[in-house]
Amino acid sequence: MNIMGQPWKMGTLKIKNRLVRSATGEGLSNEDGTPTQRLIDISVELARGGVGLIIAGTAYISREGRGDKNTTGIDNNRLIEPLSRLCRAVHTAGGTLAVQLLHCGSTLNPAILPEKEVLFGPSAMIDPVCGHPVVELSKDHILRIVDDYANAALRAKEAGFRAVQLHAAHGYLINQFLSPSRNRRNDQYGGPLKHRALLLYQVYEAVRGAVGKEFPIFIKMSAYDGFPGGVKPKEAAQVASTLDVMGIDAIEVSAGTPEGAKKGGWDHIIPAPFKEGSLLKYALQIKEKVNCPVISVEGWRNPLEITKALEKIDAVSMSRPFIREPNLVNRWLGGDLSPARCISCNECLDLIMESGLGCVFHNRNKDGNS
Ligand SMILES: Cc1cc2nc3c(=O)[nH]c(=O)nc-3n(C[C@H](O)[C@H](O)[C@H](O)COP(=O)(O)O)c2cc1C
Could you say which DSSP state residue 11 is in? Answer: T
- Min mean pLDDT across 41-50, 65-74, 343-352 is at 343-352
The secondary structure element, H or E, covering residue 77 is none
Q: Which atom of ligand 1 is nearest to the CA of 22?
A: 17
pLDDT score at 228: 85
β-strand pairing of 8-10 with 13-15: antiparallel
* pLDDT per position as a tens digit, 341-353: 999 888 888 888 7
d(CA 329, CA 332): 5
* Beta-sheet strand order (sheet of 119-121): 119-121, 133-136, 125-126
d(CA 348, CA 59): 19
66-101 burial: b if 16+ Cβ within 10 Å, else e: bbbebbbbbbeeebbebbeebbebbbebebbbbbbb
Going by pLDDT thresholds of 50, 70 and 90, the confidence category of residue 367 is very low
Here the CATH number for the domain that contains residue 254 is: 3.20.20.70
pLDDT score at 266: 76
d(CA 142, CA 128): 22
pLDDT score at 329: 98
CA max distance for the chain: 56
pLDDT score at 106: 94
370 domain-assigned: no
Mean pLDDT on 223-247: 95
Strand partners, 220: 167, 252
User: Which range scores top for mean pLDDT: 76-90, 110-124, 216-230?
Assistant: 76-90
Q: Which atom of ligand 1 is nearest to the CA of 322?
A: 26
| Residues with a CB atom less than 6 Å from ligand 1 | 22-25, 57-58, 100, 167, 169-170, 220, 254, 270, 274, 297-300, 318-321, 348-349, 352
User: 51, 19 in Cβ contact below 8 A?
Assistant: yes
183 domain-assigned: yes
Mean pLDDT on 108-133: 92
Cα of 322 from ligand 1 centre, angstroms: 11
Q: Is the pLDDT of residue 122 over 50?
A: yes
Cα of 170 from ligand 1 centre, angstroms: 10
Instruction: For residue 296, give every residue at least 6 positions away whose Cβ sits within 8 Å of its Cβ, in sequence order, or none.
Output: 252, 253, 277, 279, 280, 283, 309, 313, 315, 316, 317
Q: Which atom of ligand 1 is nearest to the CA of 320?
A: 27
pLDDT score at 365: 41
Phi, psi of 309 (to 5 degrees): -65, -35
* pLDDT per position as a tens digit, 310-331: 999 999 999 999 999 999 999 9
12 domain-assigned: yes
Cα of 100 from ligand 1 centre, angstroms: 12
Q: What is the mean pLDDT of the chain?
A: 94
Please give the full DSSP string across 184-196, using - where no structure is assigned.
Answer: ---STTSSSHHHH
Going by pLDDT thresholds of 50, 70 and 90, the confidence category of residue 157 is very high
> With pLDDT > 70 as the criterion, what percentage of the chain qualifies?
97
369 domain-assigned: no
Going by pLDDT thresholds of 50, 70 and 90, the confidence category of residue 368 is very low
Cα of 10 from ligand 1 centre, angstroms: 21
Mean pLDDT on 182-189: 97
* pLDDT per position as a tens digit, 267-306: 677 777 678 999 999 999 999 999 999 999 999 999 999 9
The residue to mutate among 19, 20, 24, 71, having the most atoms of ligand 1 within 8 angstroms of its beta carbon, is 24
CA distances from 123 to 22, 139, 185 (A): 30, 12, 6
Start-to-end Cα distance in the chain: 31
Q: Is the pLDDT of residue 370 over 70?
A: no
Mean pLDDT on 246-262: 92
pLDDT score at 364: 46
Cα of 26 from ligand 1 centre, angstroms: 10
Q: Is the pLDDT of residue 363 over 70?
A: no
335 domain-assigned: yes
Q: Is the pLDDT of residue 115 over 70?
A: yes
Mean pLDDT on 333-342: 96
Mean pLDDT on 146-150: 98
Phi, psi of 14 (to 5 degrees): -85, 130
Q: Is the pLDDT of residue 34 over 50?
A: yes
Q: Phi/psi zone of residue 288: left (φ > 0), alpha (ψ -120 to 50 degrees), beta?
A: alpha
Peptide bond into 273 cis (omega under 30): yes
292 domain-assigned: yes
Q: Using CA positions, which residue lies closest to atom 28 of ligand 1?
A: 24
pLDDT score at 117: 86
Q: How many CB atoms lie within 10 A of CB 128?
A: 17
Going by pLDDT thresholds of 50, 70 and 90, the confidence category of residue 263 is confident
Closest CA to 346 of 277, 302, 298: 298
Q: Is the pLDDT of residue 52 over 90?
A: yes
Number of compact structural domains in the chain: 1
62 domain-assigned: yes
Task: Supply the range of the domain harboring residue 122.
Answer: 3-364
Q: Is the pLDDT of residue 13 over 70?
A: yes
d(CA 164, CA 219): 8
Q: Is the pLDDT of residue 51 over 70?
A: yes
